[in-house]
């Protein structure tokens, strides 16, 4: 049996590491992994923010089926998960960090604490270290090291500088004391305890905000290097593109990205935006250093030759592009994420796959790799042929994702747009050249990425693109029709018992 190590680094853009060709960011350890494995250059997450993105990753299902719309949307108990599947295959899937899953409330009642959080544990997972937003296990570890830990999340304030405008100042903890280092330590300690095949999910928070990082990473990249933003000349011109973009620019607050900052992100000047981008780059390099420790640890434990390593993210980060921060809407920057797989048992190391791949493909890839049954109803497809240097027949020619901007608890978006909750969503189909964005209750968008790769010019109402708009809309409709929940629709009860259409075999 093969060991499986799934590493996720949260909110990591697919263009921000050395092997992807980034002109500034240095990631020697991630680049080493890419050189020994396969890098999927056009890999996309299926949803945002964290809980919806991870629901797709952990179930192999598009959002239209798993229906995790927002942080706090429960994951229906009927859905299988990667962890449950690994457990059926004889593994004890073990979590380091977090999975951001809201549990089905129909199984619980009263004052159950699970009903108060979207940071519960993915069904099927054993927990070695749970590290939710309050980060108390990490903070208690810091105290044990003699760090003077401030109250609450004040740990994310800079030591000797104001929080805003951001100056790139370091926090009170050092480079060996980050959350990333803490989880790496715990994984490496656990690794030496293993005497049989194992599955570990190491879920790093970084480079997710708050945007702050200790030295030497805090000053590793000069803000002057962050001069290019993909955007309209002004925020007002960006807002004119679409009502959703106008709403986002007028509502996203600084405090979601820089702890202690107040006001709207639109109030930051370009100096602040460049500094945030430089800090983010430093956070990526900090994660890279800890990934290097993990790779070295696998070598030292003699486990590297028997371990498939999967490195990816749940979603990206706008990082000042389109005048935005965060992960939202239809933009590539929010959904294009890294994927690198190193499998010692295949021979396609050091190659780059340009085909469109999606986060829903990770679950079937792992299951095929360990020889487990891949359920017929999954939306994703195994990437194992790519790892063997092959291109699977009939592979997808587009990437797809969804974004739901309902706010169930507050009703804010319902009031702002004058639409019911179920009309507050969009779906994207992105081909080599075109991107079509369909809203349930707002005007659509169409971008010609060959003529204008920055997603700045909407062609939806251009008569010259009428045929393209219709073609893309039809493709999106066909995609949805093909992937509606197939858990039972692919099974027929016959005189000889249940028959599965997916594999043309009898089940049960």
Q: Which residues are catalytic?
A: 50
Rounded Cα distance between 433 and 306, Å, is 40
CB distance 292 to 36 below 8 Å: no
CB distance 151 to 195 below 8 Å: no
Q: Which residues contact 78 (CB under 8 A, 6 or more apart)?
A: 487
Q: Which residues contact 79 (CB under 8 A, 6 or more apart)?
A: 59, 61, 66
Q: Which residue in 8, 3, 26 sits closest to 286, CA to CA?
A: 26
| Positions of E strands within 10-65 | 38-44
The three-class DSSP label of residue 20 is helix
Q: Are strands 399-404 and 425-430 parallel, antiparallel or unpaired?
A: antiparallel
Q: Which residue in 287, 245, 282 sits closest to 266, CA to CA?
A: 245
How far CA 139 is from CA of 96, 111, 179, 464, in Å, comes to: 16, 27, 9, 58
Q: Which residue in 112, 2, 38, 47 sits closest to 348, CA to CA?
A: 38
Rounded Cα distance between 224 and 331, Å, is 25
- DSSP secondary structure string for all residues of 485-497: --TTTTEEEETTE
How far CA 22 is from CA of 13, 18, 365, in Å, comes to: 11, 5, 27
Q: What angle do CA 369, 375, 378 make, to 5 degrees?
A: 100
**Helical spans, DSSP H, in 192-331:** 235-239, 243-249, 270-300
CB distance 419 to 426 below 8 Å: no
CB distance 305 to 297 below 8 Å: no
Instruction: Verify cis geometry, omega within 30 degrees of 0, for the bond prior to 139.
Output: no
Q: Which residue in 420, 380, 388 sits closest to 404, CA to CA?
A: 420
How far CA 187 is from CA of 270, 320, 378, 508, in Å, comes to: 39, 34, 30, 38
Q: How many CB atoms lie within 10 A of CB 367?
A: 23
Q: What is the DSSP letter of 500?
A: E
What's the full length of the chain, in residues? 508
């Amino acid at each position: 049996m093969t060991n499986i190590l799934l590493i996720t680094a949260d909110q990591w853009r697919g263009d921000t590491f050395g092997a992807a060709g980034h002109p500034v960011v240095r990631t020697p350890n991630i680049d080493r992994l890419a050189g020994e494995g396969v890098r999927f250059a056009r890999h996309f997450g299926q949803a945002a923010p964290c809980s919806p993105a991870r629901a797709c990753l952990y179930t192999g299902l598009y959002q239209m089926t798993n229906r995790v719309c927002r942080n706090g949307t429960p994951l229906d108990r009927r859905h299988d998960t990667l962890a449950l599947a690994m457990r059926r295959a004889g593994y004890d899937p073990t979590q380091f960090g977090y999975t951001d899953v809201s549990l089905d409330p129909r199984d619980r009642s009263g004052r159950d604490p699970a009903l108060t959080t979207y940071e519960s544990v993915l069904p099927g997972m054993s927990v070695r270290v749970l590290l939710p937003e309050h980060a108390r296990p990490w903070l208690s570890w810091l105290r044990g090291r003699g760090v003077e830990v401030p109250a609450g999340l004040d740990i994310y304030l800079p030591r000797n500088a104001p929080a805003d405008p951001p100056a790139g100042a370091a926090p009170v903890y050092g480079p060996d004391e980050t959350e990333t280092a803490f989880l790496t330590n715990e994984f490496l300690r656990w690794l030496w305890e293993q005497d049989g095949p194992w599955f570990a999910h190491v879920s790093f928070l970084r480079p997710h905000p708050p945007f702050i990082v200790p030295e030497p990473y805090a000053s590793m990249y000069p803000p002057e290097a962050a001069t290019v933003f993909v955007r309209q000349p002004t925020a007002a011109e960006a807002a004119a593109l679409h009502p959703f973009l106008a709403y986002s620019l007028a509502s996203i607050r600084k405090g979601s990205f820089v702890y202690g900052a107040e006001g709207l992100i639109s109030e930051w000047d370009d100096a602040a935006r460049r500094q945030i981008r430089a800090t983010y780059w430093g956070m990526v390099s900090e994660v890279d250093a800890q990934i290097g420790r993990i790779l070295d640890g696998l070598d030292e434990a003699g486990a590297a030759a028997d371990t498939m390593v999967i490195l990816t993210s749940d979603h990206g980060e706008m990082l000042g592009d389109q005048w935005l921060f965060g992960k939202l809407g239809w933009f590539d920057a929010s959904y294009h994420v890294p994927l690198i797989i190193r499998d010692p048992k295949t021979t396609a190391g050091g190659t780059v796959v340009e085909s469109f791949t999606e986060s829903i493909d990770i679950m079937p890839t792992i299951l095929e790799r360990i020889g487990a049954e891949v359920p017929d109803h999954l939306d994703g497809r195994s990437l194992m042929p790519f790892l063997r240097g092959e291109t699977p027949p009939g592979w997808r020619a587009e990437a797809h994702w969804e974004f739901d901007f309902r706010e169930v608890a507050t009703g804010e978006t319902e009031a702002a747009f004058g639409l019911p909750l179920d009309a507050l969503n969009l779906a994207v189909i992105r081909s080599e050249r075109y991107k079509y964005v369909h809203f349930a209750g707002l005007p659509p968008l169409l971008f010609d990425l060959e003529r204008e790769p920055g997603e700045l010019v909407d062609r939806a109402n251009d008569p010259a693109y009428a045929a393209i708009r219709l073609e893309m809309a039809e493709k999106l409709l066909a995609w949805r029709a093909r992937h509606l929940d197939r858990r039972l629709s692919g099974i027929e009860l016959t005189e000889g018992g249940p028959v599965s259409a997916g594999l043309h075999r009898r089940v049960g």
